[in-house]
Structure 1
Amino acid sequence: MPDKLTQLKELLGEVYDLRNVAAVLNWDQHTYMPPAGGEARGLQLATLGKLAQIKFTSDEIGKLLKDLKKELAGADPYSDDAALVRVTARDYDKAVRVPPEFVAEQAVVTSKALEAWVEARKKSDFSIFKPHLEKVVELVKRYITFFPPAAHSYDILLDDYEPGMKSQEVIEIFNVLRPKQVELLRAISKAKQVNDKFLYGNYNQQKLVDFAVGIATQFGYDWNRGRQDRSPHPFQTTFSINDVRITTRFEPSAPINTLFNTMHESGHAMYEQGVNPAFERGSLMSGASLAVHESQSRLWENLVGRSLPFWEHFYPKFKKRFSSIIGDVSLKSFHKAINKVQPSFIRVEADEATYNLHIMLRLEIEIGLVQGEMDVKDLPEIWNSKMKSYLGITPPNDAKGVLQDVHWSGGSIGYFSTYALGNLISAQIWEVINRDIPDLNEQIRKGNFESLLSWLRSHLHVHGRKYEPQVIVKKICGMKITPEPYLRYLTTKFGELYGL
């Protein structure tokens, strides 16, 4: 008879097989599924979700975890086996509180909500999405009731994405960030503005996609274990450490974003591809948290992909490929253009100086919805009011306002703050990397990313979910998540670009 740890791993393998099959169906729904397949897909996902929930919350797994926690009581808590038991036990303790019937109901509701969101965004009509979002929010509120009361009801949602983090911690971090970023934005607005008209030319879609693929390849994204497709909202998904996929989109109104979308999602994907292969089909087979995950996508997209050394390597090729549009635009002008600071309607198109303000807006709305202080029917007006207050602009329609993000259609409330936290972590890690690899900029100028990826692999990626976010950040950086390195990064970068 197999030992208890082996038994646990075998049972977890079956659970994760079901979850990963559901992930394949979800990926297909975003990419290739015909529009009429939405209702059936919702039922399929509901069945898989319910089966996975029943299997994971079984008494058998519960007893194995109880016994193994006793057996491993004196072991190194961050050994692979002890970490597997600890993380699985945490997931189990949360999962047993959620009825399988609720999981199935949520799958049906969110599947229909996704289809409604796609239509609503296309037609820029919030009323199409409104009844579905009301059901999603109702389910989220019910989900909160399954858990013991927290200091803040939002803590329960945040904990699903950032284990151990509390809403008050995030609010305090944002309270430090907000005035500093607003101050920086005001200073930039008084400086000489950047000409970026050439970024909005008639770029060939396939050529841009191909160029982006070349960048991801050079970064180190393993196409033998991944692929890229197109979807209404770019994302990364994992079915296995050896099957990590990304999507992109082409927006004629902002064509260059195709490049940065691919850099961003390949950053997520390389994290997943770098997880210890021994963690396959188990609780450790992912990133530490969504914020830590976001640190990787933002690091590759912004700290690497928008840096001058990066474009010193890639710009000659880009200029040659798109010579009819770029013309005689210099490297310096191009670099300034892709880093132009200007309040924008769309979060994923926002520059680094304004991006976190988009996140703060969403956090406030999510807390308002969860606490019952805001109604779904009022969201377009609330959204526009906050955009005017934070960024000084008002979206012209729902598609560029409240309907721009896919997350709420999937029930992902509690998620958005992880994006801003990811920015902070990326800057913290970046400072350590530059200390450990003094000639990093020179390597990037040569298009060599091997040392960078190798460093990330050994210091972060390989650990998967072994460490909670604050623990892994402190392990790498010597301190917990803090805004200071990110503020230093912004002040230095944009001070140089805008002569502040």
Structure 2
Amino acid sequence: MTDFDRLSAEINDLLCILNVLNWDARTQMPPGGSAARAQQAATLSGVAQEKLLSPAYEQAARAALAADPADRAAQQALNAAAALRRVPAALTRDLAALKGEAQDVWAGAKAASDFARFAPYLQRMVQLSRDLAGALGYEDHPYDALLNLYEPGLSTATLRPLFARLRAHHVPLLRAVMARPAPRSDFLTRSYPAAAQRAFCLQLAQAFGYDLTRGRLDASAHPFEISFTRQDVRITTRYQEHFLPGALFGTLHETGHALYEQGVAPELSRTALTSDLLGLYAVGGASFGTHESQSRLWENRVGRARAFWDLHFPALQAHFPEQLADVSAEEFHRAVNRVQPSLIRVEADELTYDLHVMLRADLEAQLINGELSVQDLPAAWNARVKADLGLDVPDDARGVLQDIHWSTGYFGSFPTYTVGNVMAAQFYRAAHSALPQLGAQLAAGNYAPLRAWLTEHLYRHGRTFTPHELLVRTTGSGLDPQPYLDYLTEKFTGLYALEAHA
């Protein structure tokens, strides 16, 4: 093991330990531990940054690059160090400490539907995020510096035309769908005991290939996936006893993330190619958008397909025989694909989901740029929901407080959900072209060929390639929304008989 490999492994270990603390804070930790945990996280983040910026690590990386000019791990380490040298160590520690405290305050504020309780922490988080953007540097918009933490190459200049194209497609299609009769969905809000939900969710996660010898499923206020190397990849979901789709599709979504992390090549473990050194995260994927492409692919392209429910609905009925006695597989499939503007992003249908993302991206860009104050955020949020979705926001819990992201300082991450939707369609189309029998395999519940193809072309590479490089290598083009628009048009035109209606 070279000095560069050894030091990279130590940095990765620190980031994985930080992830363990974050997982515990969001699943097991008693409320009283939040302040101490915030300080622990700040200390670990500071130590990791010190190691990354140490002369010894730079020398080791340069030696590795001299020995092999194609060493991407060494080049990424040098690039990350160059960027982080512009970030004061005190700012890194302050952000880490605030995240720990703010998450706990956010959870309490959401439970009480009280934005005022969270507002001072959000104000501080916005200011620190502005400071971070200024330290990292940008040309056109401070939001660009934060976007690049999660999606290298993304900017407000590239994001705005993408959003405009999606909106021009989604809104007319949404209006056409809403003019048609809605499918029956009353059975989705019957009483579904959480224990039975968990059993079925685990069954589906394992069917997709989630390895429980290297993972586990827990409950949390906001579903998430987190990894401590490929050997320990954990997911959570949120059980609502009177809304079955929430935990169900939340689990499929996080399973997609987990398959990515469990599929990273073993030889990349504890290297700079399984750590986001610039963002100081232990995450193996090329970017947040690439990661999100896999959660959306498995959740939607596979998990919401008619063939999926033709196969799995009998097992779901067996778990809930009374609740689903009067429901067919076709009715269930139509219900879980129902288009209906709603307040909650994580429960949104595929057609309105991007509108939720655009709302958040626009507002957080305004917060970072100083165009919008934290005090005015709830009113701005409510106005956008009314304009985009036609809904009145009844309270903060179902409005501006619903997402955990701002309490964790993830400014710039929301657009990656829509980028992930676009990428998912491109990757799925490429997989379908490469695997002529894919439709029949999925209909039979054989998910191994798709998972193996994705592992070979995406998962195993970790952070070896940029998102753009992965797209070009795998699909032949850069980010292209057309396959995604084609998919949505075909799906909802069929489900709602729009051609016949026209």
Q: One fold, TM greater than 0.5?
A: yes
Residue deviations 1:322-375 (CA, integer Å, cap 9, x gap)? 121112222211110000000000000000000000000001001100110000
Answer yes or no: is 1:468 the counterpart of 2:457.
no
* Deviating more after overlay: 324-333 vs 484-493: 324-333
Per the TM alignment, residue 470 of structure 1 is displaced from its structure 2 partner at its CA by 1.1
What residue is the counterpart of 1:447 in the other structure? 445
Distance 2:156 2:271 in 1: 28
Q: How does 1:164-243 map to 2 (within 5 A)?
A: 164-243=153-232
What residue is the counterpart of 2:6 in the other structure? 10
What residue is the counterpart of 1:484 in the other structure? 482
> Matched residue of 1:151: which SS?
coil
Amino acid corresponding to residue 312 of structure 1 in structure 2: D
Answer yes or no: is 1:146 the counterpart of 2:142.
no
Q: Does the 8 A contact of 2:134 with 2:142 survive in 1?
A: no
Per the TM alignment, residue 65 of structure 1 is displaced from its structure 2 partner at its CA by 2.6
What residue is the counterpart of 2:277 in the other structure? none
Distance 1:142 1:252 in 2: 42
What residue is the counterpart of 1:117 in the other structure? 106
Q: Does the 8 A contact of 2:217 with 2:236 survive in 1?
A: yes
Q: How does 1:41-440 map to 2 (within 5 A)?
A: 41-73=37-69, 75=70, 82-285=71-274, 286-440=284-438
Per the TM alignment, residue 433 of structure 1 is displaced from its structure 2 partner at its CA by 1.1
Per the TM alignment, residue 488 of structure 1 is displaced from its structure 2 partner at its CA by 0.3
Q: Does the 8 A contact of 1:230 with 1:247 survive in 2?
A: yes
Distance 2:496 2:302 in 1: 19
Q: Does the 8 A contact of 2:381 with 2:399 survive in 1?
A: yes
Residue deviations 1:212-269 (CA, integer Å, cap 9, x gap)? 1000001000100111111110100011110111111112342321111111101101
Q: Does the 8 A contact of 2:310 with 2:330 survive in 1?
A: no
What residue is the counterpart of 1:79 in the other structure? none
Distance 2:137 2:178 in 1: 47
> Matched residue of 1:146: which SS?
helix
Q: Does the 8 A contact of 1:162 with 1:291 survive in 2?
A: yes
> Matched residue of 1:227: which SS?
strand
Q: Does the 8 A contact of 1:173 with 1:482 survive in 2?
A: no
Amino acid corresponding to residue 37 of structure 2 in structure 1: R
Distance 1:494 1:65 in 2: 51
Amino acid corresponding to residue 475 of structure 2 in structure 1: C
Answer yes or no: is 1:498 the counterpart of 2:487.
no
> Matched residue of 2:322: which SS?
helix
Amino acid corresponding to residue 123 of structure 1 in structure 2: A
Distance 1:480 1:225 in 2: 33
Q: Does the 8 A contact of 1:53 with 1:100 survive in 2?
A: yes
Distance 1:254 1:409 in 2: 26
> Matched residue of 1:389: which SS?
helix
Q: Does the 8 A contact of 2:106 with 2:407 survive in 1?
A: yes
> Matched residue of 1:229: which SS?
strand
Per the TM alignment, residue 95 of structure 1 is displaced from its structure 2 partner at its CA by 1.8
Q: Does the 8 A contact of 1:164 with 1:468 survive in 2?
A: no
Structure 2 CA distance for partners of 1:374 and 1:415, relative to 1, 3 Å: same
Structure 2 CA distance for partners of 1:201 and 1:253, relative to 1, 3 Å: closer
Distance 1:243 1:136 in 2: 30
Distance 2:28 2:420 in 1: 30
> Matched residue of 1:270: which SS?
helix
What residue is the counterpart of 1:78 in the other structure? none
Residue deviations 1:105-128 (CA, integer Å, cap 9, x gap)? 111111111111000000011011
Q: Does the 8 A contact of 2:224 with 2:236 survive in 1?
A: yes
Per the TM alignment, residue 103 of structure 1 is displaced from its structure 2 partner at its CA by 1.3
Distance 2:31 2:61 in 1: 42
Distance 2:335 2:362 in 1: 31
* Deviating more after overlay: 82-91 vs 136-145: 82-91
% identical aligned pairs: 42
Distance 2:321 2:242 in 1: 19
Distance 1:467 1:23 in 2: 23
Q: Does the 8 A contact of 1:152 with 1:167 survive in 2?
A: yes
Per the TM alignment, residue 152 of structure 1 is displaced from its structure 2 partner at its CA by 2.0
Amino acid corresponding to residue 398 of structure 1 in structure 2: D
Amino acid corresponding to residue 205 of structure 2 in structure 1: A
Structure 2 CA distance for partners of 1:337 and 1:415, relative to 1, 3 Å: same
> Matched residue of 1:240: which SS?
coil
* Deviating more after overlay: 91-100 vs 170-179: 91-100
* Deviating more after overlay: 299-308 vs 87-96: 87-96
Amino acid corresponding to residue 217 of structure 1 in structure 2: Q
Q: Does the 8 A contact of 1:313 with 1:444 survive in 2?
A: no
Q: Which structure 1 segments of 5+ residues have no match?
A: 76-81
Amino acid corresponding to residue 439 of structure 2 in structure 1: N
* Deviating more after overlay: 128-137 vs 250-259: 250-259
Q: Does the 8 A contact of 2:425 with 2:483 survive in 1?
A: yes
Q: Which structure 2 segments of 5+ residues have no match?
A: 275-283
Q: Does the 8 A contact of 2:4 with 2:64 survive in 1?
A: no
Structure 2 CA distance for partners of 1:149 and 1:494, relative to 1, 3 Å: closer
Distance 1:486 1:95 in 2: 35
